[in-house]
Structure 1
Amino acid sequence: MNTLLKLNDVHTYIGQYHILQGVNFEAKEGQVSVLLGRNGAGKTTTLKTIMGLTPASKGEVEFRSQSIKKSPTYKVAKLGIGYVPENQGIFADLTVEENMKVAMRKEDTATLERQNYVLELFPDLKKFWKKAGGYLSGGQKQMLSMARAFINDSKLMLIDEPSKGLAPIVVEKVMEAIVEMKKQTSIILVEQNFIMASRIGDTYTLIDDGRTVHSGNMQDLIHHEELKRKYLGIG
């Protein structure tokens, strides 16, 4: 499989704080690549660095063999990277329909077809199409955020903590949707719920104190008790 995105020895500061101190990471086409680590390890900052929200001070960030290290966020998005932030990033005062329209870069046939596709994935969004985003439940807001990122023919989606604060039955729906989306895009997933991550992830990268400490196939990590205990506090 072709490498879609690559981070090489990436360092990122937020103010005076040296958050990422050597992150190495690859995402392949057609896969769910999972970033794992304890709270505060640097997973969310890694996604923000890819998007240009917290630019790298050192190292290289490449998307389709093109450097995006110094690219502003809007250019990164135009290249085909969709971002689903941890706080969901929807407009509470706009309807579901308006939230989707605002997210569209162009309202052409292909985009409208993708909109119909995500409405089939998330029937609740169709049900509450004319309702304000703030009216939705936590799970429905997460679905809307994912739909907004997917609608522009994203070649790569960055999804940050999609299961956070959601009931188990809703987590299951979100997980099923990610598996379905994987048929049309590639995904980088940050997820604290290891059971969910292990079920849908193809590969993993462990980050600890802002550094990549281990990576490989997800099936290998499932049976690696020492790594899970040391870096995830599992077992």
Structure 2
Amino acid sequence: MKTVLITGANKGIGLETARQLAQQGCFVYIGSRDLGNGQKAVEALTAAGLSNVAAVQLDVTDADSISQAKDAISRQTGSLDVLINNAGIAGAQPQQLAGDSMQNLRDLFETNFFGMVQTTQIMLPLLKQSAAPSIINVSSEVGSLTMNTASDRRANWTLYSAYGATKTAVNAFTVMLANELRDERFTVNSVTPGYTATDLNGFQGFKTAAEGAKPIVELAMSADRTATGKFFNDSGEVSW
């Protein structure tokens, strides 16, 4: 049984990812900034017949919170097979970099990038106890430099420029970390769920949470240990 930790998993894509992984036999820790919200998510999954889930308080912007979550998981399982860095915020919009407030930009990077790096660093000792550890960073095509520089790029992406910049940084983190851990059994990859209807975007996405979770779940369950330092969606590899 794989042991999985998902940050920001009390709702949206994170919760749906937890549901699908639990259905496939994984034991899933639902990381939630507010423990009460995480426990409600666990209760909902338990009511649906899934007992292999547990809530853990985890705020990716708080190192003490992450360390306490690591210790709780360590006491229960001793190791972690998959870390899914899903927690993120959309920030105030519109957010064009030519005029967006520095505070909004700092807030976005604090959660979406620094929070992800911090969580990964603190969880690494647990991951290293796994025979086949995986780190999955939830990104977005809005962070793809290739797509942003294409002639047919989506014009409305400029409304999310600051958010997109954080996801570009996430992708760079994925590549650099994959290179650092290449000789230590790890796989480290980015994955985009696509434009999924969640409260992150006011439920405007055209994909359901179940559809958005699909490529994350597939990556988490993959037995391919050669795929690392890559960017995926539900159709395959995405250009950086």
Q: Which category describes the TM-score, using the shorter chain as reference length? A: 0.3 to 0.5
- Higher helix proportion (structure 1 or 2): 2
Choose between structure 1 and 2 for higher RCO, CA contacts under 8 A separated by at least 6 residues: 1
Q: TM-score, normalised by structure 2?
A: 0.33
- Higher strand proportion (structure 1 or 2): 1
Q: TM-score, normalised by structure 1?
A: 0.34
